[in-house]
Structure 1
Amino acid sequence: MDSVVAILREAGASTAYLFGSRARGDEGPTSDYDIALLLKEPGDAVATFELQTELVLSLAKVLGGPVDVVMLHQAGPTLRFEAVCRGQCLFAPDEQSRIDYELKTRREFEDYRHIQSFYTQAMKERLAR
């Protein structure tokens, strides 16, 4: 993973997480590598997409399998929660920064989940009419 971390740092990532089946240890022969990044300086949508594409290609060569790269500043609360709170931190600027971001992500997810439950209940009631 040292070469992966080097590539991610060189690309401008301040923090990175491995998540999904490989982080849980239940990967299969066709499992991809799910990597989530926080960028030091996120660019516009086009620049971010180009960086994401470059990383997918270069990391796939290093890891020898398919890679999915998620930019956390563009991800929704559920995906951020999955990556950050259930994944493995590959690197962060420091321990306190990592903890602060993980707590913020957890709070945002809990708020979202609470609101989503009201929406889901209202939809069920409306469909039952």
Structure 2
Amino acid sequence: MRTQDYSETVVRRFLAPSHAGPPPDGGRVLTGRASAPGDLDLALYLSLAPDDVTIVGATFLARACPAGIAAADWACEWLRGRTLEEARGLTVAHIEAGAGLAPDRRDRGLLVEDALAAALARARDA
């Protein structure tokens, strides 16, 4: 990885993601998956653990570049403590700004947005 190709935020989150790992233990877990069509090296699983009011845990598993890892890590941090309705309001623009994504890495933010939408769809199905 050439660190000059990424923002300081992306490098920091890529080197030490604090929300990477398996889905949270216990209780209800909503997991969404997203991938890039035709790109087998890019996939993201985003898991949310909501209680009756808020998201108490959020984790991700990813096969992605540094920007994809950073975007997922930032989103998990942002999601904790939010309601499912607030989570529905998270947009790619928020993810880009929060994770420090360069404009040419917008697709990584879209991947996170898609995985989140898939997880939230499971809440509606339950």
Work out which of the two has the higher radius of gyration on C-alpha atoms and give 1 or 2.
Answer: 1
Q: Does the TM-score normalized on the shorter chain lie above 0.5?
A: no
More helix by share: 1
Tell me the TM-score normalised to structure 1 length. Answer: 0.29
Structure that is richer in strand per residue: 2
